[in-house]
Amino acid sequence: MIQVTPAISIDENDLHEEFILSSGPGGQNVNKVSTAVRLHFQVASPCLPEAVRQRLLILARSRITAAGELIIEARRFRTQPANRQDALDRLVELIRNAAREPRPHHKTRPTLGSKERRLAAKRRRGETKQLRKSVSSGTEE
């Protein structure tokens, strides 16, 4: 069991790892050894509460397949164990972010001072534009 939060833990059987050839530095080792890790996790797993599952679907929508599988690729390090740990850490962090409930949004209104400053600025701008107008000879004597 992988402990994500005090209330959420993931069973290792829900994870599937696939090792693939990695690009980047590593010399000939890159062409011979599959060091990159592709971690698969079923979002519909019973270990996740429904609210967390819904937030996870929103947070990681670009990494979730049509079958509801979250895929995380880790190829940052040159060794397989380091990439495995990196993929697992990223999954845990993603689920922790989804487990955090969003703060409720309270509608706010502009303060009296901000309204007065806005209107004063509009008034100044209008006066500036008024001064740019050409003087018409409206009164003829």
pLDDT tens digit string along 67-111?
A: 778 888 888 887 778 888 888 888 888 888 888 888 898 999 999
* CA 95/CA 93 separation, integer angstroms: 5
Domain locations in the chain? 2-99
DSSP 67: T
pLDDT tens digit string along 16-69?
A: 788 877 776 666 666 677 778 888 888 777 777 788 788 878 887 788 778 778
Classified as helix, coil or strand, 26 is: coil
pLDDT tens digit string along 91-100?
A: 888 888 888 8
CA nearest to 47, candidates 26, 28, 24, 70: 70
* CA 108/CA 55 separation, integer angstroms: 25
| pTM: predicted TM-score of the whole model, two decimal places | 0.62
Q: What is the CATH number of domain 2-99?
A: 3.30.160.20
* CA 83/CA 87 separation, integer angstroms: 6
